[in-house]
């Protein structure tokens, strides 16, 4: 490690309370900025790293390499006990010996400003030796392919199969079989605010405090403590309002761990903010699957069997701590989940290759599972000359089919496919669309309509990560404190990434206590202050944190009424609370304010009978045991127009009908779904991380990586069906990923409907103009 001879410090000025004077006797460490030397190749051996020229630059304080972090940071492996046999190569905070994707960090440079740190990084000399790269799973799994990891015989990270019934016999007996070869390309969860961290270490107390743009403060507290060798109670992670996350920010990122280690080694606060190029290169990515699938039908349109083979381009390592397997697993488990067929086979091959790590981005695996099955249903209906809506209705699970375990092994409690379809057809007049479609085709204007039905797995249960060996909380806890003024402080383990879960919890607590909403303050995102919880991911906030909050409100309300009953010499069961006033439950006559009960409870507890439970601070937890997921469902219909000369697809209208159980705040849910649809449309039409054959990223800015903007977006309509889950008193299921889950499938079917007069089809996303023109034979 190269460190400057002197660490400069500023003399801070402190105002002496009540004297109006300043003193200069406090030395505070100045913030350092961290920049990285990243590998310019997809695959390269790392020789000597020379930081001398960087250290000669005024303002550069240190250059750190993997060797410098040996004693400071432990390595890790992305293993999951529920997936035995999955390869988990060793990973380190900075690449050691070999870099395995373009953008992997090999050295960190600390400077007095970000500009100085970047200037220093440019002056670090690395002896690179470029190695052959493998850029897709077919290439990676070829017998002659270079092997990425020395402790593996090949690049096959994992293989699995899910089966039910007799698939081969069903295909042999089918009246018709349709098949398709799909390609879903790689993209990422593009947040407005990139990843960012400020880490500060206090040597005297051995305490690490981290301010981070992240979804899971308690997870990060655990990881930083274990990997840095610190007592967990000496680590605090604070995640304030986050400017978008989408699953991107609930992983351990190696460069953020370097910032923590550097703060400890140098005794100065360290800040790292990923720039946009770094984000494209080094953030976790998603999707990148090649799927071959076929579906068997009877002559009347009954689905007899489904077979799916997924080739999963996973990246250079598994994502930590959750692993990368979830996308492939969800595709195996969820494809065709809305339908009642009994014969199913799904296979998965997951390959390591020279791209950034693939992780869990919004609606993990769901868009692919949905698009594959829904496209096959449309193909089957067309081959049989049947209405695709009628084929769906004929095959939907319904009524007495629930509860059941799907052929993919997913527990389905009670889903509402037909109700969603009925609601959708009330909003969109299919007959009118077909008339207009025919009229427009006569004028060489080509419009299409596509439907996609999906199952959404939400609110993951504790068994998945608990049995997997990960330190990831899948329960939620809520602490409520009644202040002496009669207002409430609510501490939750959930976090708010802009989705509004703090507002939802605030409403649950206010309603449960009979208080006005402004009288409840929700405090979240602080691992030291807030009770243990999982944060926000996997559409879990309302279903888990909301339930914990409701339970806590119920307990505190019971205590408040017990105190009121004691003071009033009345039965607590005869009392209620509305708008902060204790009332007679029968006559509605007012007795006393909650603020008065709080004052007595805190300052005159001797006024309360000893046998009364008078706790005004309560804690309740909720863990939905006995299930891996809480399943919701929905349906999307998209209409598009395709320009046959340019290949440009214009979305015209998009409808989502969704069932997420009991809805806490309709406005928040609608906007969550609309935001998810926008991301889904991005995946369907625009977003792609493209590489050249040597593994160099070609889409390193928003000039090349296209995201949907307001001008590209259609009107997005949202309607709801409410089927409350019986697994909780609140009855809420998750909603945050529903918009993304079905959008790709709906757009894919709509585009294919539009181009059907040309006897053409497409099964590759994003559906870019060149791809569409090739499908049409015009490019």
363-373 tens-digit pLDDT: 999 999 999 99
Of the candidates 47, 72, 49, 52, the one whose C-alpha atom is nearest the C-alpha of residue 62 is 52
Residue ranges of the chain that CATH labels 3.90.1170.50: 11-131+191-245+249-282
Q: What's the rounded Cα separation, in Å, for the pair 705 and 276?
A: 11
Q: What's the rounded Cα separation, in Å, for the pair 505 and 480?
A: 11
Residue 25 has pLDDT above 50, yes or no: no
**Pairing between strand 649-659 and 125-130?**
unpaired
Give CA separation, 372 vs 251, 289, 309, in Å: 28, 11, 11
Whether the predicted model's global pTM rises above the 0.85 cut: yes
Residue ranges of the chain that CATH labels 3.30.365.10: 364-458+629-775, 475-622
126-177 tens-digit pLDDT: 999 999 999 999 999 999 999 999 999 999 999 999 999 999 999 999 999 9
For 590, phi then psi, to 5°, come to -80, 140
Q: What's the rounded Cα separation, in Å, for the pair 257 and 263?
A: 10
The predicted structure's pLDDT at residue 624: 79
CATH fold of the domain at 364-458+629-775: Aldehyde Oxidoreductase; domain 4 (3.30.365)
Nearest-5° Cα angle at 551, 545 to 556: 125
**Based on C-alpha coordinates, what's the Rg of the chain?**
28
Nearest-5° Cα angle at 359, 536 to 143: 165
Contact 284, 273 (CB under 8 A): no
578-615 tens-digit pLDDT: 999 999 999 999 999 999 999 999 999 999 999 999 99
CATH fold of the domain at 11-131+191-245+249-282: Aldehyde Oxidoreductase; domain 3 (3.90.1170)
Look at domain 475-622 and name its CATH class: alpha beta
> Which residues, including other chains, have CB under 8 Å from residue 210's CB and lie 6 or more apart?
197, 198, 199, 200, 220, 224, 235, 236, 237, 238, 260
Partners of 15 in beta bridges: 22
Q: What's the rounded Cα separation, in Å, for the pair 231 and 221?
A: 10
Q: What's the rounded Cα separation, in Å, for the pair 60 and 8?
A: 11
> Which residues, including other chains, have CB under 8 Å from residue 328's CB and lie 6 or more apart?
158, 160, 289, 310, 312, 314, 348, 350, 365
When the pLDDT of each residue in the chain is averaged and rounded to a whole number, the result is 94
Q: What's the rounded Cα separation, in Å, for the pair 72 and 471?
A: 21
Which one-letter DSSP state was computed for residue 356? P
371-398 tens-digit pLDDT: 999 999 999 999 999 999 999 999 999 9
Residue 29 has pLDDT above 90, yes or no: no
Terminal CA-CA length for the chain: 55
Mean pLDDT of all residues in 528-553? 95
* Alpha helix stretches (DSSP H) within 269-385: 276-282, 325-334, 366-384
At residue 400 the predicted structure's pLDDT band, cuts being 50, 70 and 90, is very high
Contact 322, 251 (CB under 8 A): yes
For 540, phi then psi, to 5°, come to -120, -10
Q: What's the rounded Cα separation, in Å, for the pair 749 and 745?
A: 6
Higher per-residue confidence, 669 vs 25: 669
Contact 233, 224 (CB under 8 A): no
* Residue given tokens 């500023």 in the structure block: 10
Angular region, 127: left φ>0, alpha ψ -120 to 50, beta rest: beta
Residue 33 has pLDDT above 70, yes or no: yes
**Pairing between strand 21-29 and 9-16?**
antiparallel
């Amino acid at each position: 490690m190269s460190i400057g001879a002197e660490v400069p410090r500023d003399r801070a000025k402190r105002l002496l309370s009540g004297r109006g004077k300043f003193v200069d006797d406090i030395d505070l460490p100045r913030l350092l900025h961290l920049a990285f030397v990243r590998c310019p190749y997809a695959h390269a051996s790392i020789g000597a790293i020379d930081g001398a020229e960087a250290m000669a630059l005024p303002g550069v304080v240190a250059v750190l390499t993997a060797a410098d972090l040996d004693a400071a940071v432990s390595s890790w492996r992305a293993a999951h006990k529920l997936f035995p046999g999955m390869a988990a190569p060793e990973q380190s905070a900075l690449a050691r010996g070999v870099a395995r994707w373009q953008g992997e960090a090999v050295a960190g440079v600390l400077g007095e400003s970000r500009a100085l740190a970047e200037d220093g990084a440019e002056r670090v000399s690395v002896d690179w030796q470029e190695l052959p790269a493998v850029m897709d799973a077919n290439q990676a799994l070829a017998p002659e392919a270079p092997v990425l990891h020395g402790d593996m015989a090949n690049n096959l990270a994992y293989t699995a199969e899910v089966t039910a019934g007799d698939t081969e016999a069903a295909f042999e007996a089918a009246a018709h079989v349709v098949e398709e070869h799909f390609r879903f390309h790689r993209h990422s969860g593009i947040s407005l605010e990139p990843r960012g961290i400020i880490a500060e270490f206090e040597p005297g107390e051995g305490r690490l405090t981290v301010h981070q743009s992240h979804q899971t403060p308690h997870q990060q507290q655990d990881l930083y403590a274990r990997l840095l060798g610190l007592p967990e109670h000496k680590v605090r992670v604070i995640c304030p309002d986050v400017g978008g996350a989408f699953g991107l920010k609930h992983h351990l990122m190696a460069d953020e761990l370097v910032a923590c280690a550097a703060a400890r080694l140098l005794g100065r606060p360290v800040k790292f903010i990923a720039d946009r190029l770094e984000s494209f290169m080094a953030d976790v990515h998603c999707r990148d699957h090649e799927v071959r699938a076929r579906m068997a039908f009877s002559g009347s349109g009954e689905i007899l069997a489904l077979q799916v083979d997924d080739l999963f381009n996973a990246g250079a390592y598994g994502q930590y701590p959750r692993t990368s397997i979830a996308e492939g697993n969800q595709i195996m488990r969820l494809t065709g989940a809305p339908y009642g067929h009994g014969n199913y086979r799904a296979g998965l091959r997951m390959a390591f290759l020279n791209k950034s790590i693939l992780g869990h981005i919004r609606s993990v695996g769901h868009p692919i599972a949905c698009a594959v099955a829904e496209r096959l249903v449309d193909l089957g209906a067309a081959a049989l000359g049947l209405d695709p809506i009628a084929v769906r209705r004929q095959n939907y699970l319904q009524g007495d089919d629930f509860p059941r375990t799907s052929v993919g092994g997913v527990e389905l409690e009670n889903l509402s496919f037909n109700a969603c379809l009925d609601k959708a057809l009330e909003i969109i007049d299919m007959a009118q669309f077909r008339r207009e479609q025919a009229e427009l085709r006569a004028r060489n204007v080509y419009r299409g309509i596509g439907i996609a039905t999906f199952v959404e797995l939400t609110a993951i249960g504790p068994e998945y990560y608990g049995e997997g060996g990960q330190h990831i909380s899948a329960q939620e806890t809520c602490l409520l404190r009644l202040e002496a003024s009669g207002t409430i402080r609510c501490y939750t383990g959930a976090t708010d990434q802009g989705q509004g879960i703090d507002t939802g919890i605030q409403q649950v607590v206010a309603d449960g206590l009979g208080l006005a909403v402004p009288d409840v303050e929700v405090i979240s995102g602080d691992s030291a202050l807030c009770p243990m919880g999982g944060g926000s991911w996997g559409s879990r906030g309302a279903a888990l944190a909301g339930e914990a909050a409701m339970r806590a409100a119920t307990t505190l309300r019971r205590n408040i009424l017990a105190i009121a009953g004691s003071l009033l010499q009345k039965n607590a069961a005869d009392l209620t609370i509305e708008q902060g006033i204790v009332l007679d439950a029968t006559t509605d006559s007012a007795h006393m304010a909650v603020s008065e009960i709080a004052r007595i409870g805190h300052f005159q507890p001797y006024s309360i009978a000893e046998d009364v439970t008078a706790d005004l601070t309560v804690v309740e937890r909720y863990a939905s045991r006995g299930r891996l997921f809480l399943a919701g469902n929905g349906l999307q219909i998209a209409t598009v127009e395709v320009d046959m000369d340019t290949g440009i697809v214009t979305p015209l209208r998009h409808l989502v009908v969704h069932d997420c159980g009991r809805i806490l705040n309709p406005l928040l849910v609608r906007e969550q779904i609309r935001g998810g649809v926008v991301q889904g449309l991005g995946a369907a039409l625009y977003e792609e991380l493209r590489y050249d054959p040597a593994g160099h990223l070609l889409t390193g800015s928003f000039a090349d990586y296209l995201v949907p903007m307001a001008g590209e977006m259609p009107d997005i309509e949202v309607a709801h069906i409410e089927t409350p889950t019986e697994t909780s008193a609140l009855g809420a299921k998750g909603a945050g990923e529903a918009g993304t889950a079905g959008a790709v499938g709906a757009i894919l079917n709509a585009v294919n409907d539009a181009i059907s007069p040309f006897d053409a089809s497409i099964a590759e996303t994003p559906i870019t103009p060149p791809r569409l023109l090739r499908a049409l034979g015009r490019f």
